[in-house]
Amino acid sequence: MKKQRFLAVACAMAIAAGTVGTSAFVSVAAPYTQADTPSQVTYGTLTQQELEIVYKYFDAAYYASKYDDVVEALGTDEALLLEHFVKCGIFEGREGWPTFNASAYASAYPELKDLFGRDIVKYFVHYYTKGINEGRDITTIAACEKAGIKVISLFDEDDFVSTEIYAASRLLGTNDYATVQKAANSAANNGAAIVNLPKTETKSTEVSTTETSTTEETPVVSETEENSGESVIIATEEVAEKLAKNDPNYQVAGTISLSDDREVMILVYKNASGSGYSSKFYNDIQDVITDTEINQQGIVGFIPAVIFTAQEANALCEGEEYDIETFDIKEGNIIGTEGVVFPTDNNIENAEYLKPTEFKSNHQRTMTNYVNGIYMDNAQVGGDENGTADTEYEVGTITSEDENGNAVVTTVISNDETGFNYEVTYTFDGDPYGFVQPNEKQLDNSAE
């Protein structure tokens, strides 16, 4: 059975939470040629000539200023904006720069519309290879208005693939926007849906620079992202959290609360067989020292977790030792973890602190901690505004081994009644007392 990957799309797609249950929709992604209905846009792949035109004229700042939905989904990174225009925007009639609008050009020169219809890219190619030399200079809506020409849009607004669906498709490594849209619609109504992705390899198209190019580097526009043919569950955030807990590797380790255990620890160690890793929960950190069941030489690291009231946490932030920004909640509970690696001398004062590979939580932030005489941004913290002194949080773990032999541990701290869900993943070097240096896949750990 293929391993299923979960994608919580509530934050990415803004879909409404539906009825919790089994997946109600299963679809197989295929190469994308046309949108879901005949009236929608036909998406395609630009040729080298077409890409060179786009690269020469594309204005990322203009594109970002004109399309808030794109910025909301992708941010303002120029490469991502260019990629969106190449994959989606140009086919939807969006303006990649201020001096050309395909609908205006088609309206100004109706004989071209008879030739090209809704083949949007042909208008770009015609103007920049022929029309510009033929004196066809009515290329914007403003120019049409000045000339008294009524602009008839080539596309309706409804023909756009939403940027949320585009962003989700990009994460899934597919250009089959219609399939992802169907799955998202099903997830909105039923809680979750499955997309079976075909195995693909990354294909890239290089856009050659020209003398008129405004950048020195040659951009690479990825046509497809690589995926391994896995099954992906698209779900609302609420359902995704429940599905994550149904992972066969998820283990309920224990609990943490203000009224009982305010500080607990997850120990990560090599299995006695020498293959794979396990984790163990401790209510009292001191119990680690006396635990004879764990071979001390097999320990690769640990994850302490601590809970404060929001008032306590904010008081610490305001104290002379830290003097940092307080939390955005004044009531409730604050929970934080660290990824710690034992030093070779077994002296906790010389411990190393990891950056997480993934981290998400309600009211998340990275806190500054005073460690070994220096300040470090090493504590991953979340807030539960609905938490009380009696709220008990379930602590669970998913422990696995990656392709490099490292231990990967996801710790989940949650309470279904308050809606709090905290997930953090740390990667520990497979060698006992080892330390994984941060790499490009690990998060920037700067304090917010």
pLDDT band at 196 (very low <50, low <70, confident <90, very high): low
Q: How far is CA 296 from CA 301, 343, 344, 346, in A?
A: 11, 12, 11, 10
Stronger pLDDT, 34 or 394, i.e. the higher one? 394
Does pLDDT of 132 surpass 80? yes
> 155 pLDDT exceeds 90?
no
At 243 the pLDDT is: 56
Q: Which of 16-25, 33-42, 268-277 has the lowest mean pLDDT?
A: 16-25
pLDDT at res. 349: 65
Indicate the pLDDT class of residue 20, thresholds 50, 70 and 90.
Answer: very low
> Given a cut of 50, is residue 439 above it in pLDDT?
no
Which of 375 and 62 is assigned the larger pLDDT? 62
Give the model confidence (pLDDT) of 416-426 as tens digits. 889 898 999 99
Mean predicted confidence (pLDDT) in 51-75:
90
| Confidence label for 307 from pLDDT (cuts 50, 70 and 90) | very high
Higher pLDDT among residues 224 and 370, named by residue:
370
Eight-class DSSP state of 349: G
Section 70-84 average pLDDT = 87
Domain ranges for the chain, please list them: 4-93+155-241, 252-428
In angstroms, the CA 93 to CA 101 distance is 7
pTM equals: 0.49
Rounded to the nearest integer, the mean pLDDT of the chain is 74
Note the pLDDT of residue 105.
94
Task: State how far the alpha carbon of 179 is from the alpha carbons of 37, 167, 208, 348, in Å.
Answer: 12, 14, 32, 51
Asked if the model's pLDDT at residue 215 lies above 50, the reply is: no
Q: Residue-wise over 372-398: b if at least 16 C-beta within 10 A, else e?
A: eeeeebbbbbbbbbbbeeebebebbbb
Q: Read off the pLDDT of each residue in 119-134 and give the average, rounded to a whole number.
A: 95
pLDDT digits (tens, 9 = 90+) for 337-357: 999 886 666 566 667 888 888
For the residues of 124-148, what is the DSSP string, one character each? HHHIIIIITTTT----SHHHHHHHT
Highest-confidence range of 180-189, 238-247, 308-317, by mean pLDDT? Answer: 308-317
Higher pLDDT, 129 or 12: 129
pLDDT score, position 223: 43
